[in-house]
Homo-oligomer: A and B are copies of this chain.
Amino acid sequence: MLQLDLRSPVPIYDQIKAGLRGLVARGILRPGDAAPSIRSLAAQLKVNPNTVARAFRELTLEGFLESRRGDGSLIAEGAARHAKDGLSEVRAGLKDALLRARRAGLAWGDVDSLVRESRKEEA
């Protein structure tokens, strides 16, 4: 349901944040649904609960989650929009990668073919 790449330089808590937003963006979780509990998600991902807690805390501050004391968290009402036109961190990451690639001398043509290639592999 949610996958991590522990080798990635991207912080685990960021991957968790992106993953949850992805579940909403793809319609697997919907506003009003209960989010998995911090502890259960931590166990499932084999990660320290604090790490998951940090992701949840930030998502709550951002208004993507609502935490109910002693009764778990749920996907906030605005989460769908948040996940959709938001995805801001992911977009920022991609844009950053694009920018660096350009600065490193990658031509736009190369970028285009790389995108096409990835698209093909996925299908």
Contact-residue size bin, chain A (C-beta under 8 Å from the other chain): 35 or more
Q: Give the shortest distance, in Å, between A93 (CB) and chain B (any CB).
A: 6
Q: Give the shortest distance, in Å, between A9 (CB) and chain B (any CB).
A: 7
Q: Give the shortest distance, in Å, between A68 (CB) and chain B (any CB).
A: 7
- B-side contacts of A22, CB under 8 Å: 102-105
Which single residue of chain B is at the shortest CB-CB distance from A8? B96
CA distance A93 to B103 in the complex (A): 13
* Interface residues in A16-30 (C-beta closer than 8 Å to B): 18-19, 21-26
Q: Give the shortest distance, in Å, between A79 (CB) and chain B (any CB).
A: 12
A8-B96, A94-B114, A97-B93 known; A122 vs B102 contact (CB < 8 Å): yes
- B-side contacts of A12, CB under 8 Å: 69
The contact string, 1 if C-beta is below 8 Å from chain B, for chain A 80-96, is: 00010011001101111
Query: Assuming A5-B96, A18-B100, A24-B105, what are 14 further A-B pairs, CB within 8 angstroms?
Result: A10-B96, A21-B105, A22-B103, A22-B104, A22-B105, A26-B105, A83-B105, A87-B106, A94-B114, A95-B118, A96-B97, A98-B115, A111-B115, A115-B115
